[in-house]
């Protein structure tokens, strides 16, 4: 695994980032990260869903609008306050992924995008994954993402850290087998896994963005997914298929907690 350094430590970074933007509109990018992957586990699940590290709520608001019983957790208080102010019907809680304030076995499904790799201490990463396992019902499913240790992410880190005082822990980057091993160590069975693109390095060049996003800010692109020009997007997709370890921004795992969900009588 490899550490990415930036100018601010991870909690400080998320705190200032989420303080600068309003809450998200519900996600729209059905064929893009993260909605594409969340939709592999949420539709059809018959219990409560937990989103760990919900941030400004693009997934939380999407599923809430669809009538899914979903709870969002984040350790940045400001983003939780903003979500509550925007829609008092949203169920959101200020809490840490390492100490979840829920009873064991409460949730049918957990979504976790961008959280585990934000924890600097590897023991905390293991604790957070175990906490996720604990709050899931037997037979429940987790969709979890880790930032990948790919050439693409190394280039992004070089671009973002170059010439700056990038000395503070920002996030971990894992090889695919490292992500797998951490989930298995906690007891999860991995059902499927994916190399994914979130924000390509080329997105930083406005000319190479999809025309619909050329003038939009990063915040609005979060909603529909970061999109490049169609031909570049197609090249990335082919590259991702054949060279996932080079191009992936993220590895996404769909996992199950062993056991059967008890059937209601």
Interface positions with ligand SAM (CB under 6 A):
14, 34, 53-55, 58, 73-76, 96-98, 113-115, 118-119
Q: Which is nearer to ligand SAM, 24 or 48 (CB)?
A: 24
CB of 200 to ligand SAM, least distance (A): 16
Q: Give how far Cα 46 sits from Cα of 5, 6, 98, 113, 263, Å.
A: 40, 41, 25, 21, 11
Q: Which is nearer to ligand SAM, 76 or 135 (CB)?
A: 76
CB of 111 to ligand SAM, least distance (A): 7
CB of 33 to ligand SAM, least distance (A): 8
Q: Which is nearer to ligand SAM, 166 or 243 (CB)?
A: 166
Which residues is 148 bridged to in the sheet? 174
Q: Which is nearer to ligand SAM, 218 or 258 (CB)?
A: 218
CB of 29 to ligand SAM, least distance (A): 11
Q: Which is nearer to ligand SAM, 23 or 183 (CB)?
A: 23
CB of 90 to ligand SAM, least distance (A): 14
């Amino acid at each position: 695994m490899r550490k990415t350094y930036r100018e601010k430590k991870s909690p400080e970074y998320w705190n200032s980032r989420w303080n600068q933007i309003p809450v998200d509109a519900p996600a729209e990018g059905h064929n893009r990260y993260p909605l594409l992957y969340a939709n592999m586990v949420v539709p059809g699940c018959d219990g409560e869903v937990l989103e760990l590290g919900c941030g400004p709520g693009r997934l939380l608001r999407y599923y809430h609008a669809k009538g899914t019983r979903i709870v969002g957790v984040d350790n940045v208080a400001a983003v939780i306050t903003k979500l509550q102010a925007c829609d008092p019907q949203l169920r959101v809680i200020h809490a840490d992924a390492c100490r979840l304030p829920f009873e064991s076995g409460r949730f049918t499904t957990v979504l976790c995008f961008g959280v585990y790799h934000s924890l600097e201490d590897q023991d905390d990463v293991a604790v957070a994954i175990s906490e996720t396992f604990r709050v899931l019902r037997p037979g429940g499913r987790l969709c979890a993402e880790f930032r990948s240790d790919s050439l693409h992410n190394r280039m992004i880190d070089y671009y973002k850290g170059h010439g700056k005082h990038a000395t503070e822990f920002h996030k971990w980057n894992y090889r695919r087998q490292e992500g797998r091993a951490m989930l298995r160590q906690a007891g999860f069975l991995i059902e499927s896994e994916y190399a994914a693109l979130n924000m390509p390095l080329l997105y930083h060049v406005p000319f190479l963005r999809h025309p619909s996003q050329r003038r939009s800010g990063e915040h609005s692109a979060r909603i529909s997914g970061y999109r490049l020009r169609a031909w570049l997007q197609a090249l990335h997709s082919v590259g991702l298929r054949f060279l996932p370890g080079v191009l992936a921004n993220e590895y996404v795992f769909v996992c199950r907690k062993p056991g059967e969900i008890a059937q209601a009588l």
